[in-house]
Each structure stands twice: as structure tokens, then as C-alpha cells.
Amino acid sequence: MTMKRLLFLISEDWYFRSHRLSLARAAVAAGYEVALATRISRYQDAIEREGIRVFPLHWFERASTMPGRELATMIELLRIYRQFRPDIAHHVALKPVIYGALAARLTGVPTVVNALAGLGFVFQSKSRSARALRPLVASAMRFTLNPRKGCVIVQNDADRRALIDQALAPEDRIKIIRGSGVDLAQFVVTPEPDGPPIVVLPARMLWDKGVGEFVESARILRAAGVQARFVLVGQPDRQNPHSVTRSQIEAWVREGAVEWWGLRLDMPAVLSHSTVVCLPSYHEGLPKVLLEAAACARPLVATDIPGCREIARSGQNALLVPVGDAKSLADAIRALLADPQMRRDYGAAGRRTVEQQFTDQMVAEQTLGLYARLLGMSATRQMPRSA
């Protein structure tokens, strides 16, 4: 059998490493020649050591709308697609989906998989700029999400319904694969840390991740005499218009409201030092950090929204709160901090849920099976040897 060529288009190498590397490894093990087109920060060598060819993107920026840069981005993508000649291209997130699908169409790539981890800023923000861009982006999606041979992957039922209701993609081309999975050998159950409980919000430092509400809930609980540490883990994202500034985070730290551990590449260690994990986000596909926290048997506090509800299940392994409600967030955190048995029960239930539904091997098997069907190949021949 001729080796099939698989090209991932993902905006940032750190995101590929955290969210898609296990899938790429499985594809290599299944006999694909795998390549990645991405912006490079620090991970090119590590990715290439996995047997994955890397094409650095020099012009692509998630937040750019400058015509000259966008034209240069498209020219660069066309060069990469012509050079690698993929049999299947897998694009992840809204802008790579639109640009990658167009590049694939112009270069004759026969099979395209477009993966949306949520519908993103343009469709979910109420800002004037987002509303202005929405019709243009919707038209681009209707053009790019309907390849002759391909499909769209979403992570939850609400996003699937949104694509159908807005006529952005044909119903029979939409496939739900819930998240990117968790490596259970890496994210293991550990006991709660000694000392004051630690409540962690691990995410990019964006306002729509609920960072402001988390800080306000920490203020509420400190004023009520709750003895706990409240920790932000992550960094601002200059490519995102909702990014919290570094100066704002530093002001919160000086105030004593929260600690800031910054960017951490050792999430298993971070979670092992946590007591409760929070994600009061406004919108999600299926947040990997909640999967990882559940795999480590940590109780969750999250917003009651599609995406979070896929893994944060009310009364089972999580407490859910309304979006933008710092008081409800504080009440949920307080309830978990006051009840060690609830924390243990919720943690054990979360671990079982990940083991049964959300391992990285399960996601790889589903995705490679999808590739095989699209390429007209035997699914069993496409499973990684380790499976």
C-alpha cells in the first residue's frame, strides 16, 4: 500500500503539541507520512523528533486582517500544499479551516477534514468588530466547509446544530469527535496537596475564559474568611482581542487577590498541586484542561455551557455556574472547599468518565477511522500498531 500523506494546518506549534500530537503519533504509527504547517515558537525540533515534517508559517497570524499579510499567508500555504502534496489535509480552528480549505481546493488536495474547536470570536462575541466580520466569515465557511470529499469535525452537539441551523455545512458532512483526548499514563490520580487548598484556573489569560470572574470570586471568598490560594495558570495571548494584559494580572497579584504561575508546560504537576480546578469560560468546544483535571481526579467548577458540560457534569464530578456570575462561582468553590468527601467522590467520578469516553487513544481511533473512510481505505489497516 502506498504511504498516504497527511498534512495538519494548525496556527501555533504549542497548540499542536498539547492538542494534536497524540493523534499525529498515531497516524505515523498507522503508516501515514505526516507533516505540520504552523507558526513556530519553541517546539519545531521536538515535533520533528516524532517523525513529523514541519513547515514553518512566517506570515500567518490569527488576529491579522491586513490585506497584504493575508495575501502573503495564502501564497505561503499554496507553496506548502503544492510541495507536500497531501492526500488528506486536516485543518484545526476557524482561520486555518478557511484558509486551508481554500488552499486545498486550489492545489487539488483530494480529501479535507476541517476541525472546529468551538465557533470562535467572530460568532460568539457581541463586539461591533465581530458582528461586522460575521457575514463575511459565514460566507467563507459555506464555501470552504463543503468540499467534494471531506467533512467537518466539531466537539459538541450545540456546535453541530449551529452549523446546520446557519447553513454553514451540510448535515451529512458533520462528525462529532469529543475533544482531543487525554493520555492517562501522563495524567494520573494524585492525592490532594497538604496545606491550604489551591483553586486553579488553567487557561490562556482571556476575559472570555472567565478570568475576571475568577478574580472577583477570590475576593469574595477572601473577604468571607475562606483560607485558600487562588491561582491563575497561563499567559496572555496577544493574538486574541479578548486577552487580559500582563499589567492587569500583575495588579491583581499586587492586590493579593490571586497568584499567577504564568505559562506552565508541566500540567500534570500543576494539577497535582491543585485542590479544585475552575474554568468559568463563556464558550468552549470541549476544553482539554477540564479533561486533564478530571483524569487527575480533581473536582471541577465550570460554566453551564455546551463544551464544558461534555466533561463537567453537574452533581457527578462538577458544580456548574452561570456565565459571568462571580458570586455563584464563589459559592460553588466554597461548597467544594468545605466538603472533602464531595471532592473525593467528584474526583473519582471524573476519572472514570475520562477512562470510559475521553482517552487520546479513543480520539485517535475515531479520527483515523474517519480518514480511512474518506480515503476509501480499510479502517482496520489504518489503526496504529499500539491500538
Based on the fold, state whether residues 208 and 259 are members of the same structural domain: yes
* Residue 383 φ/ψ region, left for φ over 0, alpha for ψ in the -120 to 50 degree band, beta for the rest: beta
Indicate whether 343 and 248 sit together in one domain: yes
Q: Which residues contact 71 (CB under 8 A, 6 or more apart)?
A: none
Q: Are residues 24 and 160 in the same domain?
A: yes
* Residue 312 and residue 367 share a domain: no
Other beta carbons less than 10 A from residue 266's beta carbon: 8
Instruction: Assess whether 237 and 148 both reside in one domain.
Output: no
The answer to whether position 314 is within a domain reads yes
Instruction: Tell me, yes or no, whether 93 and 227 share the same domain.
Output: no
Contacts of 153 (CB under 8 A, 6+ apart): 113, 114, 115, 116, 174, 175, 176, 177, 367, 370
Does 387 reside within a domain? no
Look at strands 111-116 and 259-262 and give their pairing.
unpaired
Residue 374 and residue 346 share a domain:
no
Residue 190 is assigned to a structural domain of this protein: no
CA 242 to chain centre: 16
Q: Starting at the earlier edge strand, list the strands of the sheet with 174-176.
A: 53-56, 33-39, 5-12, 88-92, 111-116, 150-154, 174-176
Same domain assignment for residues 364 and 318? no
**Structural domain includes residue 313:** yes
First to last CA, the chain: 20
Q: Which residues contact 233 (CB under 8 A, 6 or more apart)?
A: 200, 201, 202, 203, 261, 262, 264, 270
- Do 124 and 234 fall into the same domain? no
- Residues in the chain, overall count: 387
Half-sphere CA count of 24, side-chain side, radius 13 A: 31
Which structural domain, as residue segments, surrounds residue 212?
Answer: 198-357
- All three cell numbers of 194: 497538604
Are residue 275 and residue 205 in the same domain, yes or no? yes
pTM, rounded to two decimals: 0.89
In a domain, 193, yes or no: no
Is 160 inside any structural domain?
yes
Confirm if 204 and 234 have CB atoms less than 8 A apart. Answer: yes
Residues 44-81: pLDDT tens digits?
999 999 999 999 999 888 767 678 889 999 999 999 99
Counting Cα atoms < 13 Å in the Cβ hemisphere of 45 gives 1
Instruction: Tally the domains of the chain.
Output: 2
Tell whether 186 is covered by a domain. Answer: no
Do 371 and 346 fall within a single domain?
A: no
Count of CA atoms in the C-beta half-sphere (13 A) of 76:
18
Output the domain CATH number for residue 84.
Answer: 3.40.50.2000
As a whole number of angstroms, the distance between CA 98 and CA 55 comes to: 18
Four-CA torsion 207, 210, 216, 218, nearest 10 degrees: -130
Would 21 be classed as within a structural domain? yes
pLDDT for position 381: 47
> Low-confidence residues of the chain, pLDDT below 70?
1, 63, 65, 119-133, 146-147, 377-387
Supply the angle between the helices 128-144 and 94-107 in degrees, to the nearest 10: 30
Residues 367, 331 share a domain: no
At residue 121, the pLDDT reads 57
Distances (CA, A) of 370 to 25, 112, 177, 364: 16, 11, 10, 10
pLDDT of residue 227: 95
